[in-house]
Amino acid sequence: MKPNELKYGDVDRLIIDNVEEGEYLVNRAVFTDEQVFELEMKYIFERNWVFVGLDSELANPNDYFTTFVGRQPVIVMRDANGELAAFINSCPHKGARVGHHRKGNTKQFVCSYHGWTFNTAGECIYIKDQDSGGYAEPFNQLDHGLYKIKFGTYRGFMFASLTDDVPTLEEHLGEAMPLLDLIWDQGPDGVEEIPGRSTYTYDANWKMQLENCIDGYHLTSCHPSFMNVVSRRKAGESDNQQVKSIDFNMLGQVEGGTACMPRGHAVIYSPNAAEHERGLFLHKDELVERCGEAKTKWMLATRNLTIYPNVQFAENASLQMRIIRPISVDKTEMTIVCIGAKGESDAARLIRIRQYEDFFNTSGLATPDDTIAYEDCQFGYQGKELAWSQGYSRGISNVKSSADELTDEIGFDPETSSYGKMTDWDESVFYGGYRAWKKFIKDGLAVDGKD
Ligand code: FES
Ligand SMILES: [Fe+2]
């Protein structure tokens, strides 16, 4: 099938999901078709839980930040009494945005157009010249406050949904919760954003990023400069003795796994032979005492986690949080930030930041490699005669529908999993995301009577 044969809602034909027969193909229309993008925004981003941030961004009463859920502008706030909530960032009067800054602290928002004023609980507390307005009863009956949307937190991870018609946040996260615990529990009071977040765009589809975080196969071919730099440091050819967060010499010997969870979440993981180089390792004794041996081992391990559809936690060369915002079918905004345990020692924080800068930061050795690869793919997709991508076949013979010993050890029970040598570079880890992709879109179309 060629992409130009796509009919509205014809999502089934875009993914050939025939694992029993060893076949899995993805049609490139999922990365290029405007109609597909429209369906994704409507049914995956605007009728689903979407990650909005860590609660460390709203530490104090009257803290707020502005963001997006799908394509819709949102403001997330902690009110004067400490309650968190999310609202559409639009004045009910005539629509002007009320929050102009990325983040801040204020007792009230005064709309700069006609002066209506809102407190941080979203209530309208002032309508300019209301008494002389000649308003009638229907107007008085309206709620003049900011439009509140569904909001939830798991530990300190904050999510919002534009519709109430979603499962509970716990149901949405499901088996991903113990994996989020491995992040949150790195400090006795959780984790926080370390100042210095970056935002950038790349000219390719949002799912390129979604896949890449759990795509181990690209590591050795896409990031040779980083691997060479780290190897030379290990060999003593550099004065930089601080940043050796991964032992690439051990890659062929390390075993690891991949796992897919319902609703699109996925993870790849392996023990980290260089765990003693990590900032977190300085707090190992405290971690073992508080969380136990097994959990500590997996906190120090390499884990790249996707919480579908828009946030990833990459724990390998430091701990990075990535928030994905699709802008159009071929443009994506990324917000990336280093996160770390609240209250960790200066020494641990220093190592964490240096490792983050080295690999992850926009100026680090990995991010430019990856974004250029996404843009090269999007460029290649202009070759529409070649409709199907083959990059979903590695490991198809090894997929299991049960947990393995290591997933048992950290207490989560995925929908499917795969386990073997890290250098098997499994690609079956993408299946869960595409199954959720299909389900979200088809369920949404059915509810709208368009199936
Ligand atoms: S648009 Fe906000 S007061 Fe008019
Ligand atoms: Fe990469």
As to burial, measured by CB atoms within 10 angstroms (0-12 exposed, 13-18 middle, 19+ buried), residue 33 is buried
What is the DSSP track for 64-119? EEEEEETTEEEEEEE-TTS-EEEEESS-TTT---S--SSEEE-SEEE-TTT--EEE
Distance, CA of 201 to CA of 70 (rounded, Å):
16
Q: What is the dihedral of CA 110, 112, 116, 117, to 10 degrees?
A: -10
Q: What is the tens place of the pLDDT at every residue in 210-225?
A: 999 999 999 999 998 8
* For ligand 1, atom 4: residue with the closest CA: 114
Distance, CA of 22 to CA of 243 (rounded, Å):
41
Q: What is the tens place of the pLDDT at every residue in 100-114?
A: 999 999 999 999 999
What distance in angstroms lies between residue 246's CA and the mean position of ligand 2's atoms? Answer: 14
Distance, CA of 339 to CA of 321 (rounded, Å):
7
Residue 3 confidence (pLDDT): 46
Q: What is the tens place of the pLDDT at every residue in 297-349?
A: 999 999 999 999 999 999 988 899 999 999 999 999 999 999 999 999 999 99
Q: Cα separations (Å) of 393 from 23, 33, 371, 378, 425?
A: 7, 23, 23, 20, 11
Residue of 87, 90, 91 best suited for mutating to test ligand 1, as the one with most atoms within 8 Å of CB = 91
Name which of 71, 326, 382 is nearest 208 in CA terms. 326
Domains and CATH numbers, the chain: 50-154 (2.102.10.10), 185-447 (3.90.380.10)
Reported for 362-367, long-range contacts at CB under 8 A and 24+ positions apart, including other chains, are 362/198, 362/200, 362/336, 365/223, 365/225, 365/226, 365/229, 366/223, 366/226, 366/317, 367/336
Residue 309: asked if its preceding bond is cis (omega within 30°), the reply is: yes
Q: What is the tens place of the pLDDT at every residue in 358-404?
A: 888 888 888 999 999 999 999 999 999 999 999 999 999 999 887 77
Relative to the alpha carbon of 317, which ligand is closest? 2
Q: Is the CB of 93 under 6 A from ligand 1?
A: yes
Residue 250 confidence (pLDDT): 72
Q: Is the CB of 114 under 6 A from ligand 1?
A: yes
Residue of 75, 98, 111 best suited for mutating to test ligand 1, as the one with most atoms within 8 Å of CB = 111
Query: What pTM did the predictor assign?
Result: 0.96
pLDDT one digit per residue (tens) for the chain, 451 residues? 444 555 656 788 999 999 999 999 999 999 999 999 999 999 999 999 999 999 999 999 999 999 999 999 999 999 999 999 999 999 999 999 999 999 999 999 999 999 999 999 999 999 999 999 999 999 999 999 999 999 999 999 999 999 999 999 999 999 999 999 999 999 999 999 999 999 999 999 999 999 999 999 999 999 988 888 888 887 888 877 666 667 777 777 888 899 999 999 999 998 887 888 889 999 999 999 999 999 999 999 999 999 999 999 999 888 999 999 999 999 999 999 999 999 999 999 999 999 999 888 888 888 999 999 999 999 999 999 999 999 999 999 999 887 776 677 878 889 999 998 888 899 999 999 999 999 999 999 999 988 7
Number of other residues whose CB lies within 10 A of the CB of residue 167 = 13
Q: Do strands 255-260 and 266-270 pair parallel, antiparallel, or not at all (unpaired)?
A: antiparallel
Q: Which residue has the tokens 């073992």?
A: 288
Mapped onto helix, strand or coil, the DSSP state of residue 23 is strand
